[in-house]
Amino acid sequence: MTEFTADTKVCKVDESLGLVFGFAMICKVDGERYFDTQDHHIPEDTMLRVLTKFMQEGSVAKEMHSGDAVGKYLFAFPLTGEIAKSLDIETKYTGALVAMKPDSDSTLEKFKSGEFTGFSIGGINAKFEEVEDA
């Protein structure tokens, strides 16, 4: 087991609420499997299982995948291709949509300034396996 990491994407910072919105995990882009910088792909069904467990177990935000909590995920939504279609949503990306509430103004400022461009979820371990191309 290794600490779970995935490419993520910050889409919006709402200063009035102190929330950061975006994708905590990206599964597909334009309908094609997405591979992160470590060449990992997270299938939509795996994302759904991981996101469920993560939200049930406390939804802690960390800084760069380590250390103490720097915030909490208040909202999460699994946007799979099937869920998007059932809700009549057209999207370029599928994955885990989140809203994170940083514990401090200094952490929120790192998102606002662009120093932080993604999310770090705490406490999730993953077992990666090699798979053949489908």
Going from N- to C-terminal start, the domains of the chain cover: 2-121
Per 3-state DSSP, what percentage of the chain is helix, strand, and coil (rounded to 5)?
A: 20, 40, 40
Residues 6+ apart with CB under 8 A from 7: 26, 34, 36, 37, 118
Query: Please, what are the averages of pLDDT over each run of 10 residues along the chain (134 residues)?
Result: 54 94 93 88 92 86 71 94 96 94 93 86 58 58
> How many residues in total does the chain contain?
134
Taking the whole predicted model, whether its pTM rises above 0.75 is answered as: yes
